[in-house]
Each structure stands twice: as structure tokens, then as C-alpha cells.
Amino acid sequence: RMNRHSGAGDMGSPLKHFTNAKKKINVLFSDIQTYIEEFGEFIDDIGNSDENIIIEEELEDDVLAALEKINGIKDMLTRNHMKVVFFGRTSNGKSSVVNAMLWDRILPTGIGHTTNCFLSVAGCSDEGAYLLCNGSEEKRSIKSVTQLSHALSEESMSPDSLIQVFWPKSKCALLKDDVVLVDSPGIDVSHDLDQWIDKYCLDADVFILVANAESTLMQAEKKFFHRVNEKLSKPNIFILNNRWDASASEPELMEQVRQQHLERGISFLADELKVISKSQAKDRVFFVSAKETLQSRMPKVPGKADSPVYMADGHQVRLMEFARFEREFEECISRSATRTKFEYHTQRASKIIDQLHSKAEWLYTKATELMNECRDRRVFLLQRLEYIDNQMKLVTQRSKDGIVALANEAERQVRVAMSDEIRRL
Ligand code: GDP
């Protein structure tokens, strides 16, 4: 019990697939952010130097814009979660299923506590539970379920509005692993299912239809999932035939009813909606009792003796079936969210990186061109220098030769003059 409830050391949970992927992708995005920052600093350094002939302001702006976009994506990724939405007719036990999965009575259930708007439950830090109403920033702390149900009944909410409940992650494994659970008003009360889907379902990873095992699937329930199927490609749908404990009183009929519900459920998913194959569909239909599961999972109140709880025959099997459902659900939501939630962001990031890469490449080519130009000029100047040098040498040599010749001539003439004079004397 402790394991699933607290999530302590539960490394085997399929949900870890998503949370680990999320951690890895966050590290990757931090690396990308560092690289872009370094690139930006490098460009700034050159741009600010007096000798800059290559960096233009536009490039500096582009790098800044890329950094902002990457930061934005990183932000979205840290807020990314797995989302499951519960639908069904009023009183089929949607809130009870959510509570059973959270191992505590968090959402109010039962007569007079009909969920009349959308209610999401997400994890928060350990400081304490709170709720946000309809997009408002004002955090209202909640100490107990009774307080929550009062808060909910005080609010006059329209069916398509949202109340967000934030519950300490440490209290529940699902919340710790970034699952957000969304309860909906009874499917029978709304006329505007499309608006519901557009507002709350487009990013849902899994849909759970909480049906009543005591009756067959209603047209309203089917119709809703047909609409979902039109708007989303191959949604992941589970069918929980809840209140299965009620059939324990008629054991002779039980197997027959179960078979009938199972066949209808499979046929709805595989033949009617065509979201899954027939053989896989049998792992999407379950027979459970949310009420019993919740009762068996409720945390013990310290100092209070356990009051004996009456459980109908076969409750162990129903508890096991609930746990089997949770395992299938966790595998499905984790796989689906890992595949879909990161894809769009990584594609966007990849485009941004491609753009920066081509800018860096342009810069490199430009710098190489400039370097080559400088090298050619240097070679040219050196050659010129050598030529001039040689010319100078030549000139010097020539003038030297000329001077020597002149001097020799002068000497010769002096000698001639002198010998003439000697002769005369
Ligand atoms: P919702 O309107 O679909 O959210 O339904 P609730 O969760 O509020 O449940 C309506 C009533 O049905 C409550 O009184 C629950 O205690 C009861 N209920 C829910 N699940 C079960 C179940 O599996 N077996 C039985 N016997 N009662 C249930």
C-alpha cells in the first residue's frame, strides 16, 4: 500500500518513462540554452570591438530572439504533464474513481456533491493544498474535503468552467509523477460537448469513461466519444464498469452480465470508434468498484481505531481488477504522453537550432573569406616588398659601381694631369 500511495522508491512505475524523458529533455534544453548564450557572448565580444567588420546588429538580435524562444519552450516543457479526463453520466462514480486513484477522499462525492463544472487535480509542493477558480490567480487554501465541497458549492460555476485543485505531491504517487486528473460534469447535463472537447480534451492523453455496470452504455456517453474521436486521432479510451460490487448480490447473473458488458465495450472501442484492435480492446474494459477501492485505500486516521467496513463478496477480485486497470492506464498514458508531448517542442527547437546553425556557418564562411583576403594581401605585399628591396639593392649596386667608376675616372684623370705636370717640370 505504502508503495503506490507514497510513490516511495517506486522506480518500476511505467509513469517513470515519461518523467525520466521529461528530465532528460530538460537537461538537453539547458545545454542548448548554454550553447546559445555562449554564441551570443562571442558575437557580442566581436561586435563591441573597434576592429569589428563582420558582426551586424541584426545577427545579435537573431541570437537573442532564438534564446528567448528556447527559454519559452523550456518553460513549457517543465510544465508538461500527463493528462487524464474522466467522463460519464452523473453519479456513475467519476469522482470516486479519481479519489480511489489518488488514495484519498480529495474530491467530494455523493448526492448533493454533483460535480457541476470541470475539476482538475494536480500536484503541488508540500506547503499545503489550494485551489484556483476559473483562471483566477488567487490561491485559496483547502484544509479538508468538507472545506473543498463548501468552496465548490459556494461557487456558481458554469458547466464548462474549471476549478483547479492542487494537492501535495508527497501524498500521492500519481501527482508526484506529473499526472493531472480532470473530473467533468455529468455527460448527460451538457448540450455543448464540442466546447468541452475544445477546452479540456485536445491535450488529454487518456480518456476514461466511467460507466455504470448496472446499466448499459447510454447514447449520450457514446455520442460524446464519437465527437472526441472526430476531433482527436485515435484517442486512448478506457471503460470502467463501475459499481461492480452491486452485482455481487446476484452471483448467478454476474458472469453473464460481465460477458455482455465486455463484448459491448470491446465492440464500441474496436468496431464503432475503431480506436483500437479487438484483441487490445479487452485490456481497456474493466469491472471495478471505486467505492470499495477507495475505502480500502483511505489513509488511517492516527489514534482512531479502524471501523469495520462491510465489503461485498468478491471485493478482493475487484480490488485486484482496479489495480490491473491502473497498471494498464499508467503504461498507456506514459507511452502516449512521451510520444506526443515532446514532439512538437523538439521540432520547434530543432528549427531554431537549424536557423542559428546556418547563421554560425555564414559567420564562419565570412570570417574565412576575410582571412583568405588578408592572407592574399599579405603575400602580395611581401612580394612587393621583396621586389622593392631587390630594386633598391640593384640601384645601390649600380650607384656604387657608378661612383667607383667615376672615382676611378677622376683618379685616372688626376693621374694623367699629374703625370703631364711632372713631365712638364
Ligand atoms: P459522479 O457524479 O460520477 O462523480 O459520482 P460520485 O463519485 O459522486 O458517486 C456517486 C455516488 O455513488 C456516491 O454516493 C458514491 O459513494 C457512490 N459510488 C461510487 N462508486 C461506487 C461503487 O463502485 N459502488 C457503489 N456501491 N457505490 C458507488
293 lines ligand 1 (CB under 6 A): no
| Total count of residues recorded for the chain | 425
* 3-state SS, residue 208: strand
Task: Determine if ligand 1 sits within 6 Å of the CB of residue 92.
Answer: yes
Question: Which region among 169-173, 178-182, 236-240, 274-278 has the lowest average model confidence (pLDDT)?
Answer: 169-173
Identify whether the C-beta of residue 284 lies closer than 8 Å to the C-beta of residue 276.
yes
- The predicted structure's pLDDT at residue 308: 63
* CA of 289 relative to ligand 1 center, distance in Å: 9
CB < 8 Å & 24+ apart, contacts of 265-274? 265/211, 265/217, 265/239, 265/241, 268/217, 268/222, 268/225, 268/239, 269/237, 269/239, 272/222, 272/226, 273/225, 273/226, 273/229, 273/237
Per residue in 26-47, pLDDT (tens digit) is: 999 999 999 999 999 988 888 8
Nearest ligand 1 atom to alpha carbon 89? 3
Q: Please give the pLDDT value at position 122.
A: 95
Report how far apart the first and last C-alpha atoms of the chain are (Å, whole number).
Answer: 145
Query: Of all protein residues, whose CA lies closest to atom 24 belonging to ligand 1?
Result: 243
Measured distance CA(241)–CA(29) in Å, rounded:
43
Distance CA(373)–CA(16), nearest Å, equals: 56
Q: Which atom of ligand 1 is nearest to the CA of 289?
A: 23
Closest CA to 104 of 140, 142, 150, 66: 142
94 lines ligand 1 (CB under 6 A): yes
- Would you say residue 56 has pLDDT above 90? no
Interval between CA 290 and ligand 1 midpoint (Å)? 7
Q: How confident is the model at residue 159 (pLDDT cuts 50, 70, 90)?
A: confident
Q: What is the 111 CA–ligand 1 centroid distance (Å)?
A: 9
Q: State the distance from the centre of ligand 1 to the C-alpha of 247, rounded, in angstroms.
A: 15
The answer to whether the CB of 96 is under 6 A from ligand 1 is yes
CA of 90, closest atom in ligand 1: 2
Ligand 1 pocket test: pick from 87, 90, 96 the residue with the most ligand atoms within 8 Å of its Cβ. 96
> Which residues on adjacent β-strands are paired with residue 120?
164, 182
User: How confident is the model over 329-355, as a mean pLDDT?
Assistant: 91
Given the CA of residue 183, which atom of ligand 1 is nearest to it? Answer: 4
DSSP 139-201: -EE--SHHHHHHHHHHS---TT-EEEEEEEGGG-HHHHTTEEEEE---TTT-S-HHHHIIIII
What are the C-alpha distances in Å from 97 to residues 29, 65, 275, 352? 37, 46, 23, 43
The whole-number pLDDT of residue 1 equals 37
Query: Which of 147-156, 234-243, 290-299, 313-322 is predicted least confidently?
Result: 147-156
- pLDDT per residue over 319-339, tens digit each? 999 999 999 999 999 999 988
Cell of 277: 484492435
The answer to whether the CB of 114 is under 6 A from ligand 1 is yes
Ligand 1 pocket test, pick from 109, 115, 250 with the greatest ligand atom count within 8 Å of Cβ, gives 109
How many angstroms separate the CA atoms of 243 and 214, rounded?
7
Residue of the nearest CA to atom 13 in ligand 1? 110
Distance 370 CA to ligand 1 centre (A): 77
In this predicted structure, the answer to whether residue 259 has a pLDDT above a threshold of 80 is yes
Q: What is the mean pLDDT of residues 156-170?
A: 84
The response to whether residue 185 sits with its C-beta less than 6 Å from ligand 1 reads no
Cell of 227: 465527437
With beta carbons less than 8 A apart as the criterion, state whether 117 and 163 touch: yes
- Going by DSSP bridges, is the β-strand pair 130-133/140-141 parallel, antiparallel, or unpaired? antiparallel
Question: Measured from the CA of 92, which atom of ligand 1 is nearest?
Answer: 3
**Which value does ipTM take for this structure?**
0.98
pTM, entire model: 0.80
Kindly give the distance from the C-alpha atom of residue 142 to the centroid of ligand 1, in angstroms, as a whole number. 23
Residue nearest to atom 6 of ligand 1 (CA): 93
